A and B are shown apart, each in its own frame.
Chain A
């Protein structure tokens, strides 16, 4: 008997149309938990570095986290894993919503796609009945429209649909997979789905999910619910509103956008508008949001209402959450009405809300500076907003200049040449980042930006305040009920952190402290991604209801796996190392681990080197960022160690080979 998980995966060979139900090994759950952890193992076993993102041999894995479908509040994440066409590394984007629990209720933990379908199809899972169905009539249809059409033709309004839009079909490198109010967006996983000729994955399940120790588990769930209520009533004082409470950043609720609009950069991540927010803007944007927002909504089994139904005038209704509220507005230097409107099209087309606006602003900047010319944009409207709609349309159809832009700023700049690379200035590992340009280097953020393998700052930060509080008494008040810390020393790190003077950034927190802090924050995200927990109730907000102290109990009582903090830490480190191993094998190394040059004005090359050296050593990686043989064997990843030795990635003593032996990451797609 398997608890929390079902113990079965679906293996779908799209080339041959073959579908199998395969029992999984419970020992893998103990070692890698589930979700991201077991996905990383499957990618290691079955997708060697020679496999191109758009090869039939690339896998596309839809995984429900280990605890999805159990009563744990907010545990509803689908972790989609594949090799990204944009970064050419392992992508593991996630989506909330309702899909993952439904997959569990249908009796499966993962759906693993391989091959390529000869024609456009969708997969329909209804408990034990699983079939590939023709989707040629859905070609070109929007992601939301597709979901509605499929529910109708199957006469299954309760089926959960994850679908791609035109961007995915046309293999746009930042295409998303959309699922109603949620999407798995980062890393262009929608393009891989499109390459496989897979329009949608549809699931309906009516079976039970079982719990190992029911009464214990419910007690843990009740404690979490009570703490959520407590935190809702006690926001953290002294931090900006979106960081004070729980949930994803509450962008659908908040009207006050002073912080985002004045601290984040506009256009192609260029312009800080420090006096942007005023009463007129506040009134106008409040009216816009109030008039378009019909309801605040949640994912499965979660009270946090981080999403909203949005009905822009004259356009169909769609659902939105989080910061895509502002990305289009700010890229186009426009207003909220424009941003919420174009996001409707973008959601139907299925593109990532961080990359897409930035790619469009990048193109217009190139035009402005004469690197691209009017001839590259035939028929583009004169007005700013019309241009963005025109660009979006051409990108998702891969028409004209859109075909180049559809590969994201990094690859587009390479293809355009003529100095365009300088304009693709906001990437890490070839992936567009949040439009943030700051002044003083922050050692914690330096390490997170450099080494994060989800390549998105929100997917590694969270547990430690982003900045010191002004006065010691504020900090003392903050640490008083900070029981989530893995160790008391974290409280001291924070207490001693001053806004200026000796104990301030960039030299404080010191490199060893920064390592501890980054490691804690990252570990929380990795655990969430294996269990299927929403970051908004765990790794992302300060003082969350899920933490390193109750997670082992959840796993023990829920999945029936003996677990304590030590064992959980080992498991998380194991598959975190395995994610790195997958990427190491694809050529990622120290040379790729750097924040954008202009992310901070004040940089400290020596300190940055020390930070990275210290962190690599702390993680058990060599100076090139590659896990050492000792580290790999310690985590039981002997198969990785042997592979690295055989490939010459590691020499027997754990040193890196000469630089020219590493596979070339930059080769064209």
Chain B
């Protein structure tokens, strides 16, 4: 029986840090596009892409705003690439208490990149004519639904750790909360 394949569109901004000239046009246009009304102002501080830049160490990393997280992570990574050490949060997209990026400067509310939904391509890409940022869109087969066995494996791991009773209590409590 032929399977009906589900597909999804994956949107990617490819960041080529070697091509970045550090001009921050991406920050400018992002904040202008998301201003209300559109283009009525700009302010890189509101941008959902920021260039982490340290010119004298030749570090240039455009980073996009991802998920909000209420707590900063305790374990962090430092990357050394081609002999250059990148700061701990250089490649992280989180809007997080440990950094001043990706928050509305007035309200502190988290920002997240929306790929300029509705435009032909994200505007940071359009304005990056040195091609540090390029846009790719591809159709991908959607992964099949998770198999029930996968859930069993997860719950077993939790039960090992906390005991089955506590898991049952937690499930009951969560489903009660959902109903409320």
Spell out A's residues near B (CB within 8 Å). Answer: 69-71, 73, 98, 105, 144, 148, 157, 180-181, 206-211, 214-215, 217-218, 225, 228-229, 232, 294-303, 305, 309, 316-319
Contacts and interface: CB of A to CB of B under 8 A. Distances in A.
A206 B129 CA distance: 26
A316 B105 CA distance: 35
Contacts of A180: 55
B24 A301 contact: yes
B96 interface: no
Given A71-B28, A210-B40, A302 B23 contact: yes
A206 B58 contact: no
B43 A303 contact: no
Contacts of A70: 42
B122 to A, nearest CB: 15
B40 A297 contact: no
A303 B41 contact: no
B1 interface: no
11 contacts: A71-B29, A144-B56, A206-B45, A208-B46, A210-B41, A214-B39, A300-B24, A302-B25, A303-B21, A303-B129, A317-B56
A319 B46 CA distance: 28
Contacts of A316: 56
Contact of B43 (A105, A148, A232, A301): A105
Contacts of B28: 71, 300-301
Contacts of A211: 39-42
A232 B93 CA distance: 33
A295 B58 contact: yes
B39 A105 contact: no
Interface in B17-43: 21-25, 28-29, 32, 35, 37-43
Contact of A207 (B24, B37, B43, B130): B43
Contacts of B24: 98, 300-301
A229 B42 contact: no
Q: Which of A69, A209, A294, A301 is most buried by chain B, counting CB atoms within 10 A of its CB?
A: A301
Interface string B128-145: 111000000000000000
A225 B29 CA distance: 12
Contact of B23 (A71, A295, A301): A301
B42 A208 contact: yes
Contact of A298 (B23, B41, B45, B57): B23
A225 B60 CA distance: 23
Given A71-B28, A214-B39, 8 more contacts: A157-B54, A208-B46, A209-B42, A225-B127, A298-B21, A298-B22, A303-B129, A305-B130
B44 interface: yes
A105 B105 CA distance: 12
Contacts of A300: 23-24, 28
Contacts of A69: 42
B55 A303 contact: no
B22 A297 contact: yes
Nearest to A311: B58
Q: Which of A229, A232, A309 is most buried by chain B, counting CB atoms within 10 A of its CB?
A: A309
Contacts of A301: 23-25, 28
B61 to A, nearest CB: 13
Interface of B: 21-25, 28-29, 32, 35, 37-46, 54-58, 60, 105, 127-130
B125 to A, nearest CB: 13
Contact of B129 (A207, A210, A225, A297): A225
A157 B38 CA distance: 29
A144 B58 CA distance: 15
A36 B142 CA distance: 59
Nearest to B128: A303
A301 to B, nearest CB: 5
Nearest to B105: A206
Contacts of A208: 35, 41-43, 46
B58 A71 contact: no
Nearest to B29: A71
A216 to B, nearest CB: 9
A98 B130 CA distance: 18
A214 B23 contact: no
A229 B41 CA distance: 25
B168 to A, nearest CB: 49
Contacts of A157: 54
A302 B28 CA distance: 11
Contacts of A295: 21, 58, 60
B129 A229 contact: yes
A210 B32 CA distance: 9
What 10 A-B pairs are tightest by C-beta distance, nearest first?
Answer: A214-B39, A298-B23, A206-B45, A208-B41, A298-B21, A208-B43, A210-B41, A206-B105, A214-B40, A303-B129
A183 B40 CA distance: 31
Given A228-B129, A229-B129, A217 B56 contact: no
A209 B27 CA distance: 13
Given A105-B43, A209-B43, A218-B32, A305 B25 contact: no
Contacts of B25: 73, 301-303
A71 B127 CA distance: 10
A144 B37 CA distance: 40
Nearest to A144: B56
A69 B43 CA distance: 8
A215 B35 CA distance: 12
Q: Which of A157, A294, A303, A319 is most buried by chain B, counting CB atoms within 10 A of its CB?
A: A303
A217 B40 CA distance: 9
A217 B23 contact: no
Given A298-B21, A303-B129, A319 B55 contact: yes
Contacts of A218: 32, 39
B158 to A, nearest CB: 42
B43 A299 contact: no
Nearest to B132: A303
Given A206-B45, A208-B42, A298-B23, A71 B55 contact: no
B81 to A, nearest CB: 14
Given A148-B56, A296-B21, A303-B129, A217 B35 contact: no
A309 B55 contact: yes
Q: Which of B42, B58, B60, B105 is most buried by chain A, counting CB atoms within 10 A of its CB?
A: B42
A316 B58 CA distance: 12
Given A71-B28, A303-B21, A217 B39 contact: yes
A316 B60 CA distance: 18
A180 B22 CA distance: 12
A209 B55 contact: no
Nearest to B52: A157
Contacts of A207: 43, 45, 105
Nearest to A303: B129
Contacts of B130: 298, 303, 305
